[in-house]
Structure 1
Amino acid sequence: MEEICQIVNDFKIAAMNAIDAENRCRFALEIVEATCKEIDADKVGIRLSPFTDYNELGDSNPGALALHMAESLNNLLAVRKAFDGTFIVNGGYDKEDGIKAVAESHADLVAYRRSFLANPDLPRRFELNAPLNAYN
Protein backbone atom coordinates (compact mmCIF):
# COMPACT_ATOMS: atom_id res chain seq x y z
CA MET A 1 0.00 0.00 0.00
CA GLU A 2 2.84 2.39 0.85
CA GLU A 3 4.37 1.81 -2.59
CA ILE A 4 1.08 2.67 -4.31
CA CYS A 5 0.83 5.92 -2.33
CA GLN A 6 4.38 6.82 -3.39
CA ILE A 7 3.61 6.12 -7.05
CA VAL A 8 0.44 8.24 -6.89
CA ASN A 9 2.48 11.05 -5.34
CA ASP A 10 5.13 10.69 -8.08
CA PHE A 11 2.45 11.15 -10.74
CA LYS A 12 1.11 14.20 -8.91
CA ILE A 13 4.60 15.74 -8.82
CA ALA A 14 5.15 14.89 -12.50
CA ALA A 15 1.89 16.66 -13.41
CA MET A 16 2.90 19.77 -11.45
CA ASN A 17 6.33 19.74 -13.11
CA ALA A 18 4.73 19.45 -16.55
CA ILE A 19 2.59 22.54 -15.91
CA ASP A 20 5.65 24.39 -14.59
CA ALA A 21 7.62 23.39 -17.73
CA GLU A 22 4.80 24.64 -20.00
CA ASN A 23 4.88 27.97 -18.20
CA ARG A 24 8.66 28.20 -18.67
CA CYS A 25 8.26 27.51 -22.40
CA ARG A 26 5.44 30.03 -22.73
CA PHE A 27 7.58 32.74 -21.11
CA ALA A 28 10.47 32.15 -23.55
CA LEU A 29 8.18 31.94 -26.55
CA GLU A 30 6.40 35.19 -25.63
CA ILE A 31 9.79 36.94 -25.40
CA VAL A 32 10.83 35.59 -28.81
CA GLU A 33 7.50 36.61 -30.36
CA ALA A 34 7.70 40.14 -28.95
CA THR A 35 11.31 40.50 -30.09
CA CYS A 36 10.46 39.28 -33.60
CA LYS A 37 7.78 41.97 -33.86
CA GLU A 38 10.41 44.66 -33.21
CA ILE A 39 13.27 43.36 -35.37
CA ASP A 40 13.61 40.97 -38.28
CA ALA A 41 12.88 37.42 -37.12
CA ASP A 42 15.97 36.22 -39.00
CA LYS A 43 18.04 38.17 -36.46
CA VAL A 44 16.47 36.54 -33.41
CA GLY A 45 17.88 33.49 -31.68
CA ILE A 46 17.26 31.61 -28.49
CA ARG A 47 19.67 29.60 -26.42
CA LEU A 48 18.45 26.40 -24.82
CA SER A 49 20.73 24.75 -22.26
CA PRO A 50 19.27 21.35 -21.42
CA PHE A 51 22.44 20.01 -19.76
CA THR A 52 23.29 23.03 -17.61
CA ASP A 53 23.41 22.47 -13.87
CA TYR A 54 21.39 25.39 -12.49
CA ASN A 55 17.81 26.32 -11.60
CA GLU A 56 17.51 23.08 -9.62
CA LEU A 57 18.22 21.01 -12.72
CA GLY A 58 21.39 19.40 -11.36
CA ASP A 59 21.37 15.86 -10.04
CA SER A 60 24.02 14.13 -7.96
CA ASN A 61 22.71 10.74 -9.10
CA PRO A 62 24.73 9.82 -12.24
CA GLY A 63 22.09 7.35 -13.42
CA ALA A 64 19.34 9.95 -13.19
CA LEU A 65 21.59 12.52 -14.85
CA ALA A 66 22.32 10.16 -17.75
CA LEU A 67 18.57 9.55 -18.19
CA HIS A 68 17.92 13.31 -18.05
CA MET A 69 20.61 13.91 -20.69
CA ALA A 70 19.16 11.21 -22.97
CA GLU A 71 15.67 12.71 -22.63
CA SER A 72 17.07 16.18 -23.26
CA LEU A 73 18.85 14.96 -26.38
CA ASN A 74 15.60 13.48 -27.68
CA ASN A 75 13.87 16.81 -26.98
CA LEU A 76 16.71 18.67 -28.69
CA LEU A 77 16.30 16.50 -31.78
CA ALA A 78 12.56 17.22 -31.77
CA VAL A 79 13.29 20.96 -31.62
CA ARG A 80 15.76 20.51 -34.49
CA LYS A 81 13.07 18.91 -36.64
CA ALA A 82 10.58 21.69 -35.88
CA PHE A 83 13.05 24.56 -36.43
CA ASP A 84 13.96 25.63 -39.95
CA GLY A 85 16.66 28.19 -39.12
CA THR A 86 20.36 27.78 -38.40
CA PHE A 87 20.64 25.40 -35.47
CA ILE A 88 23.78 25.74 -33.32
CA VAL A 89 24.59 23.31 -30.52
CA ASN A 90 27.19 23.51 -27.76
CA GLY A 91 28.03 21.90 -24.48
CA GLY A 92 31.07 19.71 -24.19
CA TYR A 93 31.42 18.70 -27.82
CA ASP A 94 34.85 17.47 -28.85
CA LYS A 95 36.01 17.40 -32.47
CA GLU A 96 34.50 13.98 -33.25
CA ASP A 97 31.18 14.72 -31.51
CA GLY A 98 30.88 17.99 -33.42
CA ILE A 99 31.58 16.36 -36.76
CA LYS A 100 29.02 13.66 -35.98
CA ALA A 101 26.36 16.19 -34.88
CA VAL A 102 26.65 18.06 -38.18
CA ALA A 103 27.02 14.92 -40.32
CA GLU A 104 23.85 13.40 -38.81
CA SER A 105 21.98 16.73 -39.24
CA HIS A 106 21.50 17.20 -35.49
CA ALA A 107 22.96 20.69 -35.96
CA ASP A 108 24.16 23.10 -38.61
CA LEU A 109 27.01 24.43 -36.48
CA VAL A 110 28.79 23.52 -33.25
CA ALA A 111 30.03 26.11 -30.73
CA TYR A 112 33.11 25.17 -28.74
CA ARG A 113 33.05 28.11 -26.33
CA ARG A 114 35.08 26.78 -23.37
CA SER A 115 37.45 24.79 -25.55
CA PHE A 116 37.97 27.89 -27.68
CA LEU A 117 38.73 30.04 -24.65
CA ALA A 118 41.41 27.58 -23.50
CA ASN A 119 42.65 27.03 -27.05
CA PRO A 120 42.50 30.21 -29.16
CA ASP A 121 44.04 28.18 -31.99
CA LEU A 122 41.32 25.53 -31.76
CA PRO A 123 40.67 25.18 -35.53
CA ARG A 124 44.39 24.57 -36.09
CA ARG A 125 44.54 22.04 -33.24
CA PHE A 126 41.54 20.22 -34.72
CA GLU A 127 43.24 20.23 -38.11
CA LEU A 128 46.43 18.73 -36.65
CA ASN A 129 44.63 16.44 -34.17
CA ALA A 130 46.74 18.17 -31.52
CA PRO A 131 45.94 17.84 -27.81
CA LEU A 132 43.77 20.54 -26.25
CA ASN A 133 44.42 22.61 -23.16
CA ALA A 134 41.87 21.90 -20.43
CA TYR A 135 39.60 24.84 -19.67
CA ASN A 136 39.34 26.27 -16.19
Structure 2
Amino acid sequence: FDGVEIHGAHGYLIDQFLKNGINDRSDEYGGSLENRCRFLSQIIQAIASAIGPDQVAVRISPSIDHLDAMDSDPIGLGQFVVTEINRLERVMGGRLAYLHVTQPRYTASSKTGSAHKREKQEEHLLGMLREGYSGTMISSGGFTRENGMSAVADGETDLVSYGRLFISNPDLPYRFAVNASLNKYIRATFYTQDPVVGYTDYPFLHQGGGQDERGTKSDTESENRVGSFGWVLSKL
Protein backbone atom coordinates (compact mmCIF):
# COMPACT_ATOMS: atom_id res chain seq x y z
CA PHE A 1 0.00 0.00 0.00
CA ASP A 2 1.01 3.62 -0.43
CA GLY A 3 -0.12 4.90 2.94
CA VAL A 4 -2.49 4.69 5.89
CA GLU A 5 -5.66 6.68 6.48
CA ILE A 6 -6.44 6.74 10.19
CA HIS A 7 -10.20 6.38 10.58
CA GLY A 8 -11.09 8.86 13.30
CA ALA A 9 -14.66 9.32 12.10
CA HIS A 10 -18.20 7.91 11.89
CA GLY A 11 -18.67 6.83 15.48
CA TYR A 12 -15.88 4.27 15.58
CA LEU A 13 -13.25 3.96 18.33
CA ILE A 14 -11.22 7.15 17.80
CA ASP A 15 -14.36 9.20 17.20
CA GLN A 16 -15.76 7.89 20.48
CA PHE A 17 -12.79 9.45 22.25
CA LEU A 18 -13.21 12.76 20.40
CA LYS A 19 -16.94 13.32 21.05
CA ASN A 20 -18.02 14.52 24.50
CA GLY A 21 -21.50 13.09 23.97
CA ILE A 22 -20.11 9.58 24.28
CA ASN A 23 -16.71 9.99 25.96
CA ASP A 24 -17.40 9.94 29.70
CA ARG A 25 -13.86 9.14 30.80
CA SER A 26 -12.39 10.94 33.80
CA ASP A 27 -8.72 10.24 33.07
CA GLU A 28 -6.26 11.93 30.70
CA TYR A 29 -8.35 10.81 27.71
CA GLY A 30 -11.61 12.47 28.75
CA GLY A 31 -13.01 15.86 29.61
CA SER A 32 -11.18 18.68 27.82
CA LEU A 33 -10.66 18.89 24.08
CA GLU A 34 -6.95 18.33 24.60
CA ASN A 35 -7.61 15.13 26.53
CA ARG A 36 -10.20 13.81 24.11
CA CYS A 37 -7.84 14.42 21.19
CA ARG A 38 -4.90 12.74 22.94
CA PHE A 39 -5.68 9.22 21.66
CA LEU A 40 -5.82 10.39 18.04
CA SER A 41 -2.62 12.42 18.46
CA GLN A 42 -0.73 9.44 19.85
CA ILE A 43 -1.91 7.22 17.01
CA ILE A 44 -0.84 9.78 14.40
CA GLN A 45 2.62 10.10 15.95
CA ALA A 46 3.09 6.34 16.29
CA ILE A 47 2.21 5.56 12.68
CA ALA A 48 4.06 8.57 11.30
CA SER A 49 7.20 7.55 13.17
CA ALA A 50 7.03 4.14 11.51
CA ILE A 51 6.32 5.10 7.89
CA GLY A 52 6.72 8.88 7.69
CA PRO A 53 4.06 11.59 8.01
CA ASP A 54 3.68 11.96 4.24
CA GLN A 55 2.27 8.42 4.11
CA VAL A 56 -0.30 9.05 6.84
CA ALA A 57 -3.73 10.68 6.52
CA VAL A 58 -6.53 11.28 9.02
CA ARG A 59 -10.28 11.13 8.56
CA ILE A 60 -12.62 12.98 10.93
CA SER A 61 -16.34 13.74 11.06
CA PRO A 62 -16.91 16.32 13.81
CA SER A 63 -20.53 17.05 12.85
CA ILE A 64 -21.67 13.46 12.24
CA ASP A 65 -23.50 11.68 15.07
CA HIS A 66 -23.45 8.15 13.65
CA LEU A 67 -23.56 5.39 16.29
CA ASP A 68 -24.58 8.03 18.87
CA ALA A 69 -21.13 9.64 18.74
CA MET A 70 -22.10 13.30 18.92
CA ASP A 71 -20.46 16.40 20.31
CA SER A 72 -21.96 19.48 21.93
CA ASP A 73 -19.72 21.74 19.84
CA PRO A 74 -18.81 20.13 16.49
CA ILE A 75 -17.27 23.34 15.17
CA GLY A 76 -15.03 23.74 18.20
CA LEU A 77 -14.05 20.07 18.03
CA GLY A 78 -13.18 20.24 14.35
CA GLN A 79 -11.12 23.38 14.78
CA PHE A 80 -9.23 21.91 17.73
CA VAL A 81 -8.39 18.72 15.83
CA VAL A 82 -7.11 20.78 12.89
CA THR A 83 -4.99 22.92 15.22
CA GLU A 84 -3.58 19.79 16.85
CA ILE A 85 -2.71 18.22 13.50
CA ASN A 86 -0.95 21.43 12.45
CA ARG A 87 1.05 21.25 15.69
CA LEU A 88 1.94 17.60 15.16
CA GLU A 89 3.12 18.32 11.64
CA ARG A 90 5.51 20.94 12.98
CA VAL A 91 6.78 18.54 15.66
CA MET A 92 7.24 15.70 13.16
CA GLY A 93 8.88 17.97 10.60
CA GLY A 94 6.52 17.05 7.77
CA ARG A 95 2.93 17.28 6.65
CA LEU A 96 0.44 14.46 6.55
CA ALA A 97 -0.68 13.25 3.14
CA TYR A 98 -4.09 14.87 3.69
CA LEU A 99 -6.92 15.53 6.11
CA HIS A 100 -10.20 13.86 5.12
CA VAL A 101 -13.36 15.47 6.52
CA THR A 102 -16.77 13.82 6.15
CA GLN A 103 -19.83 16.02 6.32
CA PRO A 104 -23.20 14.47 7.23
CA ARG A 105 -25.76 13.43 4.65
CA TYR A 106 -28.17 13.45 7.58
CA THR A 107 -27.88 13.24 11.36
CA ALA A 108 -29.99 11.78 14.12
CA SER A 109 -30.37 15.30 15.49
CA SER A 110 -32.07 16.31 12.25
CA LYS A 111 -35.24 14.93 13.80
CA THR A 112 -35.17 17.45 16.63
CA GLY A 113 -36.54 20.97 16.73
CA SER A 114 -33.09 22.51 17.19
CA ALA A 115 -31.70 20.76 14.13
CA HIS A 116 -32.20 23.67 11.72
CA LYS A 117 -30.31 26.14 13.90
CA ARG A 118 -27.44 23.72 14.41
CA GLU A 119 -27.25 22.84 10.73
CA LYS A 120 -27.07 26.53 9.82
CA GLN A 121 -24.22 26.99 12.29
CA GLU A 122 -22.33 24.06 10.80
CA GLU A 123 -23.05 25.06 7.21
CA HIS A 124 -19.59 26.53 6.73
CA LEU A 125 -17.66 24.00 8.83
CA LEU A 126 -15.73 22.66 5.84
CA GLY A 127 -14.59 26.15 4.90
CA MET A 128 -13.48 26.90 8.45
CA LEU A 129 -11.47 23.68 8.63
CA ARG A 130 -9.96 24.29 5.19
CA GLU A 131 -8.92 27.77 6.28
CA GLY A 132 -7.39 26.46 9.49
CA TYR A 133 -5.53 23.45 8.10
CA SER A 134 -2.11 24.01 6.57
CA GLY A 135 -2.12 20.93 4.34
CA THR A 136 -4.36 19.29 1.73
CA MET A 137 -8.00 18.63 2.65
CA ILE A 138 -10.37 16.12 1.08
CA SER A 139 -14.11 16.22 1.77
CA SER A 140 -16.85 13.64 1.34
CA GLY A 141 -20.47 13.09 2.24
CA GLY A 142 -23.20 12.86 -0.39
CA PHE A 143 -21.66 15.34 -2.81
CA THR A 144 -23.20 15.87 -6.24
CA ARG A 145 -21.58 17.42 -9.29
CA GLU A 146 -22.86 20.87 -8.47
CA ASN A 147 -22.07 21.13 -4.78
CA GLY A 148 -18.83 19.20 -5.13
CA MET A 149 -17.47 21.60 -7.70
CA SER A 150 -18.81 24.56 -5.74
CA ALA A 151 -17.06 23.37 -2.58
CA VAL A 152 -13.73 23.42 -4.40
CA ALA A 153 -14.40 26.68 -6.23
CA ASP A 154 -15.46 28.39 -3.00
CA GLY A 155 -12.33 27.27 -1.18
CA GLU A 156 -14.15 24.97 1.25
CA THR A 157 -11.96 22.00 0.32
CA ASP A 158 -9.16 21.01 -2.03
CA LEU A 159 -10.62 17.74 -3.27
CA VAL A 160 -13.92 15.86 -3.11
CA SER A 161 -14.15 12.08 -2.76
CA TYR A 162 -17.03 9.80 -3.74
CA GLY A 163 -17.87 6.35 -2.38
CA ARG A 164 -21.26 4.91 -3.29
CA LEU A 165 -21.11 6.39 -6.79
CA PHE A 166 -17.80 4.61 -7.42
CA ILE A 167 -19.28 1.25 -6.43
CA SER A 168 -21.92 1.40 -9.16
CA ASN A 169 -19.80 3.24 -11.72
CA PRO A 170 -16.39 1.63 -12.30
CA ASP A 171 -15.54 4.34 -14.84
CA LEU A 172 -16.66 7.22 -12.62
CA PRO A 173 -13.82 9.65 -13.57
CA TYR A 174 -14.65 9.23 -17.26
CA ARG A 175 -18.37 9.65 -16.64
CA PHE A 176 -17.65 12.84 -14.76
CA ALA A 177 -15.42 14.11 -17.55
CA VAL A 178 -18.10 13.64 -20.23
CA ASN A 179 -20.97 14.64 -17.93
CA ALA A 180 -22.62 11.23 -18.18
CA SER A 181 -25.47 10.05 -15.99
CA LEU A 182 -24.75 7.22 -13.59
CA ASN A 183 -25.80 3.68 -12.85
CA LYS A 184 -27.99 3.57 -9.76
CA TYR A 185 -26.30 1.88 -6.85
CA ILE A 186 -28.16 -0.91 -5.05
CA ARG A 187 -27.76 -0.40 -1.32
CA ALA A 188 -28.97 -3.91 -0.48
CA THR A 189 -25.81 -5.35 -2.05
CA PHE A 190 -23.33 -3.09 -0.24
CA TYR A 191 -22.57 -5.45 2.63
CA THR A 192 -22.97 -8.95 1.21
CA GLN A 193 -20.59 -11.85 0.63
CA ASP A 194 -21.21 -12.27 -3.09
CA PRO A 195 -17.94 -11.37 -4.87
CA VAL A 196 -19.71 -10.26 -8.06
CA VAL A 197 -23.29 -9.06 -7.52
CA GLY A 198 -23.28 -5.44 -6.50
CA TYR A 199 -19.51 -5.16 -6.79
CA THR A 200 -18.15 -6.03 -10.23
CA ASP A 201 -21.31 -6.38 -12.31
CA TYR A 202 -22.14 -2.70 -12.84
CA PRO A 203 -21.71 -1.76 -16.53
CA PHE A 204 -19.24 0.73 -17.94
CA LEU A 205 -20.63 3.60 -19.98
CA HIS A 206 -19.54 2.02 -23.27
CA GLN A 207 -21.49 -1.10 -22.27
CA GLY A 208 -24.73 0.86 -22.15
CA GLY A 209 -24.74 1.88 -18.52
CA GLY A 210 -25.76 5.52 -18.61
CA GLN A 211 -26.11 8.58 -20.81
CA ASP A 212 -23.33 10.83 -22.03
CA GLU A 213 -23.51 14.55 -22.72
CA ARG A 214 -24.69 13.87 -26.28
CA GLY A 215 -27.91 12.44 -24.86
CA THR A 216 -27.41 8.79 -25.80
CA LYS A 217 -29.57 6.91 -23.32
CA SER A 218 -29.55 3.37 -21.99
CA ASP A 219 -31.95 1.27 -19.96
CA THR A 220 -29.89 1.84 -16.82
CA GLU A 221 -29.93 5.62 -16.92
CA SER A 222 -29.70 7.09 -13.43
CA GLU A 223 -31.82 9.81 -11.95
CA ASN A 224 -28.71 11.17 -10.29
CA ARG A 225 -26.39 13.36 -12.33
CA VAL A 226 -22.86 14.39 -11.54
CA GLY A 227 -20.34 16.17 -13.68
CA SER A 228 -16.81 16.88 -14.68
CA PHE A 229 -14.09 15.16 -12.72
CA GLY A 230 -11.41 17.21 -14.42
CA TRP A 231 -11.17 19.66 -11.55
CA VAL A 232 -10.16 16.79 -9.27
CA LEU A 233 -7.60 15.36 -11.67
CA SER A 234 -6.10 18.79 -12.18
CA LYS A 235 -5.42 19.02 -8.45
CA LEU A 236 -3.39 15.80 -8.34
TM, length-normalised to structure 1: 0.68
Q: Which residue of 2 aligns with 1:89?
A: 139
Residues 26-105 of structure 1 mapped to structure 2, 5 A cutoff: 26-50=38-62, 52-56=64-68, 57=70, 58-61=108-111, 64-105=114-155
Structure (1 or 2) with the greater strand fraction: 2
Structure (1 or 2) with the greater helix fraction: 1
State the 1:134 CA deviation: 3.1
Structure 2: any 5+ residue segments left out of the alignment? 1-19, 24-29, 71-107, 188-236
Once residues 117 and 91 of structure 1 are traced to their aligned partners in structure 2, the CA distance between those partners, rounded to angstroms, is 15
Of residues 44-53 and 84-93 in structure 1, the stretch that sits farther from structure 2 once superposed is 44-53
Once residues 114 and 32 of structure 2 are traced to their aligned partners in structure 1, the CA distance between those partners, rounded to angstroms, is 18
Q: Which residue of 1 aligns with 2:73?
A: none
Q: Which residue of 1 aligns with 2:204?
A: none
Of residues 51-60 and 37-46 in structure 1, the stretch that sits farther from structure 2 once superposed is 51-60
Once residues 115 and 169 of structure 2 are traced to their aligned partners in structure 1, the CA distance between those partners, rounded to angstroms, is 28
Of residues 92-101 and 125-134 in structure 1, the stretch that sits farther from structure 2 once superposed is 125-134
Higher relative contact order (CA 8 A, sep 6+): 2
Aligned-CA RMSD value? 2.9
Q: Quick one: percent identity of the two aligned structures?
A: 38
State the 1:90 CA deviation: 0.6
Residue 113 of structure 1, aligned match among 152, 157, 163? 163
Matching of residue 123 in structure 1 with residue 173 in structure 2: yes
Structure 1: any 5+ residue segments left out of the alignment? 1-15
Secondary structure of 1:47 counterpart: strand
- Give the direction of change, closer, same or farther, for the CA distance of 1:90–1:63 in structure 2 (3 Å limit): farther
TM, length-normalised to structure 2: 0.43
- Give the direction of change, closer, same or farther, for the CA distance of 1:34–1:69 in structure 2 (3 Å limit): farther
Query: Do the aligned partners of 1:89 and 1:110 also contact (CA within 8 Å) in 2?
Result: yes
Secondary structure of 2:160 counterpart: strand
- Give the direction of change, closer, same or farther, for the CA distance of 1:40–1:59 in structure 2 (3 Å limit): same
Secondary structure of 1:55 counterpart: helix
Give the count of matched residue pairs: 121
List structure 1 segments (4+ residues) > 6 angstroms apart after TM superposition: none
- Give the direction of change, closer, same or farther, for the CA distance of 1:70–1:128 in structure 2 (3 Å limit): same
Letter in 2 for 1:38: A
Secondary structure of 2:60 counterpart: coil
Secondary structure of 1:92 counterpart: coil
